[in-house]
Structure 1
């Protein structure tokens, strides 16, 4: 610890403790007051990097074709669906949903025009269409007719006609896309290294604030309308089974999970902290000090997140719990060190004991905090936005935890001054490390052999690691998200949307425009004969290639192929919509003239349902909306995209740059694709930086490599176990290896520091090992047990990745602890990397400032 810093502690903090305390409270209070701006984000945008081209294209498509701003309400009556009573209940439910202030429109089975495919014709269409609520309707016949209309089956009603679904379209803010476009123009200028003017910088700030307000309004609206729908749903529990689904509901419930996890994790860690502290130290004094440090760290960190406008996502929902664990670990080291100083220096003054504790622990704790920061900082090399944000948050949080621990500990120790040493009778729990010392001494080669076998087995298991997991598996089976997604997935056409956008240029090569003018003249004459006048602007436009018989035939081929894929549910497109018209036309494809006439005369409301969501008139571009079955065990997203791409390029001869994939499936799949890359990068960065730090700290390459090996065993063991168990990597488990190494190496630093000191004093490797296990190993043991217990609290989450993260991180920390207390000493005993003469020369330095005896 630098002398100037020791002077500040002695002359200011310890001598003027109440002034220091008041100043500390004022600073913390000022920062913590920003907690009111703390927010959470579960939007699709939080899944990717802000400058990701996939996100930009996703926004472009949503602007052109409409957003995913709708909810699904499934309706499965206790009576038959096609009964008078059930239809009345469905009507009542629809009217209640339509009456909600935030609902723009409601689409249900009641609104669907029905026809008998064997009797209807284009000439008599107005007379042959009927609705399910018309008078004197045969409901059984209506059911048969509905099931014979391909567009309705597995979309409005299930194939067994027992379940129907209501689509609830929510009111949106049309300014969002305009504001976002303006913001992105400014941001792209910065990405291209173009400096913004003062006006543009202020405009960027204003646009961010406006978009933030719009996002908050949408979140409040979703919360309100979802609560209202669930309240309505409750009134039908006696007559029907109803589930709520849709992207807004999933986003809302995930935010609720985040909120719940923050509370549960925080409270759970606090309760564990009290129990562990009370068991280990047997005094409320230490519990009070640790609780104070953890509470202040949590409040301050949340305040900084609010001040910096860093939203917490599902990935970073364990942020507070991790900070509590890390802060607790630091304070436990200080407490254990103070108890030793108090025991070994009975004649020393109270302030001097505190100062000795702070000064002797400052350097090793600074290094351990730095290695933890490196571990979390490595997450920033990921391509996944929430992982990057998580890394930033934890860098800030760990730094804050270190500062608060080393400021708060001396203040609270002075305020709660109490003389007398702690005394307790040591049980088997406290002598556990001594037993590990015996194992390390007597079975050296056996321990080394076990470590080698574990390493080989882990490496083999890591080969089977995968990332292609199902989004539905992120939720427990008793949650509404899971149940609703499963029902919609299996009975009503699939859940996760995948969109295929095909440009006009895909079929331009199929057309020869030699006789273009004459053909257009013929068409115009035919329109005039039918009483349809063409506008000047239409004549100036290029012919719409997709709205020709050739274009529609191509679309039907795409539609047929997409329908044939086992993992796809319902596919909606212009071709699917035209199937109804073709069915009415005696299952005959429409001619070029009929298509042109249809496009001219189609009513606006029908255009909004059949054409606008799937055909862009301005760009002559078509869109296929595929709902993929998340519950299908055969789902392989990469293979699905590859199969579609291969069909379009080889069978239809479309060029690759003429069609594009987008939608939530693409954003999610891009994130999964970057997981393996992120795993390699994060592990590589962590290993490289920590190894460099070890070389600098230990001044020995051999010692640095020996120190890294036990921690790699723990991390690789968990990854190998996940591979053997078939548990895929996800957004959270991807961070386990880097985090566990970053935290576990804290023990390595403390142990090797202490071992060097003991070896210099005793001159014998075996004696130094026993001395370390009787002193420093106990502090490592206490802190690791606390950390393991803290991570285990994550099993209380409703979010399965959090549960896996808690289980496997706890396991990694346990294996790393055992490796540091068995394998590390065995490696030191077998390789003998220290030279006695060198260690004797460094005794003075070790005793002066690098003493790390924590027992």
Structure 2
């Protein structure tokens, strides 16, 4: 640090490079919030799903719902047919399902034929009411592309594998542009499905970035101006924030990590933490100026006061963030790794580069704006007086509060529901609800059956076994729609026998099944079976969105399959529902591992810093207690432990311990200089208490800004972290000094002989 003080030009060049160099890298950011990237690449569900997609289409789709009395009129059907054909020609689209493209099996004098449910070339051959009746009586269309009410129909776009959220956005834009071009915009009532949800999350991410990044920076810079009234402070702070956030996000990109809604929290978080470090550094500069120091001497005096606390502040916060890297959910792990890097970079700039710049170019006077600081001094002065004079009462009240809070933690529910991430008035929520009311649930589950050899799924006993599983699922309230190979075989058998209802069953002859499958010339068949007829999938649409409800269904299904094996076939579960439900287990494991890791690392760092077991223990207590309060509030308010809130523990405790470090450092230095406990606490609060209170104010303001997000987990993350920081400040200003006072009294209590 002192070497760099003699090279201010080098410090300026380095700071400029940190601001400028990440620019080209940032242009390569991969916006991708697709569900797949949240799972470990080697997770069994991910490996199986990847292998399955080599033989079967994607299960993620985008659904356009059209409503009104005219959806079976000739003009509408012509337009929906033309739109389906245009979309199917797009390179990104694998297939379009609509009333004009879905297969329909019907009897013919020669046996049966497979033709479009509604052929756009033969619209004049039937009346609109006749087409409606044909669609409603079809075995597969109702619930998939036709509403039971007869007043709505859907167009389902199934793409080839898409690499990121921007490609999903382009697909939705293609769909909406096609709808407008074909004159169907007035009939469109909803756009839903997992692709539409991903696009909604992408838009929320971009909106958050546009609001939160400049918003958090503005709050921090305004508070720095309010406290120090120096334009140089504001300018240097703005450059420092840019020099921290730019390289951090560039690192995320260089590590080939996608930018997700989790990653979107990084820029405002790093901005807040950087402002906190700057606050302590400039506050030390102010105190040095008040003591008569000028120029380089003022900077040196400031560094002597805050260098060690800021360093350990950075280490503890980085430890808290780095603990998230143990999570199996990749965006959370990447968030922790990049966040830790950003915090350490911020400390390096504040302690290494800024002092050289301030020593060289800071020539103006430092005046403490009395009105700005008077309220802060009153708060800290009152806290010091109360903690010293009523130490026993403070600790007792804190203990009672924790005792009340701890039982509430058991009410915290681990749950992830992608469709609850937006409020009830959000367009994606309303669209999803409408599609599910008119058609079926949007959560896809696949039950995959593997026969012992090629053509083995043509055997009637195996088809009956699959059908038995399907019947069990259809009886579940979570299931809205299902489709399977046995359904298609039974439909062909029914049509071949002149549509006699008695023949809508699976035939007893393997040869007859093989003959049906051989002459089938439609496209729907290979959605449910591979071309070797050795593997089949039972497609299920669920109305369940929450991971717990889906896990309960899958557990029951596994129990059923184990108790009643499907003939001699192997089976497994796949699809979005399987991937999504597995996330709950990963969240629990990641949260526990992260808590253990952060608590262990912080305890070790406190022991290294204070070189005292009692002092290290005292420093941990005021920071673990607010963590308990956060989880208690989650339990009381019913806030779920999900992807975003799972990070709160590590982030909050990593930040909260910063104030403890600054207070304890100042207190310990004064005690070593011979001050009494009361005097050491009073002087520390006078100097450091002001800074940590101001820092908490800016941090709380910046995290409360996150609460404006349309994405509910981000809003909950901001609110709960802000609450945790306020609780941590109260514990630091009241409970920590009270513990120190009580500890001193116990050590010096006279022993009666």
Asked if TM exceeds 0.5, the reply is: yes
Deviations 1:335-378, CA, capped at 9 Å, x for gaps: 0001001111x1x3411111222243221111110001110111
Distance in 2, Cα, partners of 1:600 & 1:128:
16
1:100 Cα deviation after fit:
4.8
> Of the candidates 140, 148, 160, which is equivalent to residue 151 of structure 1?
140
Distance in 2, Cα, partners of 1:715 & 1:440:
21
Deviations 1:204-250, CA, capped at 9 Å, x for gaps: xxxxxxxxxx94xx666544332232234456576323332333443
Contact 1:37/1:309 (CA < 8 Å) preserved in 2? no
**Does the alignment pair 1:358 with 2:292?**
no
Distance in 2, Cα, partners of 1:835 & 1:760:
17
Map 1:36-435; keep pairs closer than 5 Å: 36-68=27-59, 70-77=61-68, 79-91=69-81, 93-95=83-85, 97-98=87-88, 100=90, 102-112=92-102, 123=110, 125-126=112-113, 131=118, 134-170=123-159, 215=163, 221-234=167-180, 239-344=186-291, 346=292, 348-414=293-359, 416-426=361-371, 427-435=374-382
Contact 1:377/1:395 (CA < 8 Å) preserved in 2? yes
> Of the candidates 618, 622, 626, which is equivalent to residue 536 of structure 2?
622
Contact 1:28/1:296 (CA < 8 Å) preserved in 2? yes
Q: How big is the alpha-carbon RMSD for the aligned residues of Structure 1 and Structure 2?
A: 2.8
Shift in alpha-carbon separation, 1:648–1:171, aligned structure 2, 3 A: closer
Aligned to 1:664: 576
Contact 1:35/1:304 (CA < 8 Å) preserved in 2? no
Aligned to 1:805: 717
Distance in 1, Cα, partners of 2:281 & 2:564:
70
Aligned to 1:791: 703
Map 1:509-658; keep pairs closer than 5 Å: 544-584=455-495, 585=497, 586-587=500-501, 588=503, 589=505, 590-592=507-509, 593-603=511-521, 606=522, 608-610=523-525, 612-618=526-532, 620-630=534-544, 636-652=549-565, 658=570
Distance in 2, Cα, partners of 1:231 & 1:280:
52
Aligned to 1:486: 433
Distance in 2, Cα, partners of 1:743 & 1:801:
19
The DSSP-based 3-state class of the residue aligned with 2:411 is coil
The DSSP-based 3-state class of the residue aligned with 1:615 is coil
1:31 Cα deviation after fit:
4.5
Shift in alpha-carbon separation, 1:637–1:225, aligned structure 2, 3 A: closer
Distance in 2, Cα, partners of 1:661 & 1:126:
33
Distance in 2, Cα, partners of 1:247 & 1:446:
54
After alignment, is 489-498 or 642-651 more displaced?
Answer: 489-498
Distance in 2, Cα, partners of 1:786 & 1:706:
26
**Does the alignment pair 1:34 with 2:21?**
no
Shift in alpha-carbon separation, 1:233–1:832, aligned structure 2, 3 A: farther
TM-score, normalization by structure 1: 0.81
Distance in 2, Cα, partners of 1:413 & 1:232:
59
Shift in alpha-carbon separation, 1:455–1:30, aligned structure 2, 3 A: same
Shift in alpha-carbon separation, 1:622–1:675, aligned structure 2, 3 A: same
1:691 Cα deviation after fit:
1.0
Distance in 2, Cα, partners of 1:576 & 1:457:
57
Structure 2: state its 5+ residue gaps.
749-753
Distance in 2, Cα, partners of 1:106 & 1:269:
44
Contact 1:151/1:577 (CA < 8 Å) preserved in 2? no
Report runs of 4+ in structure 1 exceeding 6 Å deviation: 127-130, 833-836
Distance in 2, Cα, partners of 1:667 & 1:678:
16
Distance in 1, Cα, partners of 2:217 & 2:518:
68
1:619 Cα deviation after fit:
6.4
Distance in 2, Cα, partners of 1:324 & 1:751:
23
**Does the alignment pair 1:500 with 2:447?**
yes
**Does the alignment pair 1:759 with 2:704?**
no
Deviations 1:184-213, CA, capped at 9 Å, x for gaps: xxxxxxxxxxxxxxxxxxxxxxxxxxxxxx
Distance in 2, Cα, partners of 1:127 & 1:169:
21
Aligned to 1:450: 397
Distance in 1, Cα, partners of 2:116 & 2:316:
71
Aligned to 2:751: none
Contact 2:30/2:258 (CA < 8 Å) preserved in 1? yes
1:812 Cα deviation after fit:
0.7
**Does the alignment pair 1:9 with 2:4?**
yes
After alignment, is 485-494 or 28-37 more displaced?
Answer: 28-37
Distance in 2, Cα, partners of 1:384 & 1:121:
54
The DSSP-based 3-state class of the residue aligned with 1:779 is helix
The DSSP-based 3-state class of the residue aligned with 1:832 is helix
The DSSP-based 3-state class of the residue aligned with 2:96 is strand
The DSSP-based 3-state class of the residue aligned with 2:446 is strand
Deviations 1:522-576, CA, capped at 9 Å, x for gaps: xxxxxxxxxxxxxxxxxxxx57332122122112111111111111221222123
1:430 Cα deviation after fit:
4.1
Distance in 2, Cα, partners of 1:819 & 1:150:
65
Contact 1:149/1:580 (CA < 8 Å) preserved in 2? no
The DSSP-based 3-state class of the residue aligned with 2:33 is coil
Contact 1:35/1:305 (CA < 8 Å) preserved in 2? no
Deviations 1:753-782, CA, capped at 9 Å, x for gaps: 111223344643233322222221111111
The DSSP-based 3-state class of the residue aligned with 2:375 is coil
Deviations 1:62-102, CA, capped at 9 Å, x for gaps: 1111224643221123x343344543453454355446564
TM-score, normalization by structure 2: 0.91
1:57 Cα deviation after fit:
0.9
Shift in alpha-carbon separation, 1:219–1:688, aligned structure 2, 3 A: closer
Shift in alpha-carbon separation, 1:263–1:50, aligned structure 2, 3 A: same
Distance in 2, Cα, partners of 1:383 & 1:454:
34
Distance in 1, Cα, partners of 2:108 & 2:393:
85
Shift in alpha-carbon separation, 1:833–1:416, aligned structure 2, 3 A: farther
1:421 Cα deviation after fit:
2.9
Contact 2:59/2:444 (CA < 8 Å) preserved in 1? no
1:583 Cα deviation after fit:
4.2
Distance in 1, Cα, partners of 2:699 & 2:531:
59
After alignment, is 669-678 or 421-430 more displaced?
Answer: 421-430
Distance in 2, Cα, partners of 1:809 & 1:127:
59
Distance in 1, Cα, partners of 2:284 & 2:249:
30
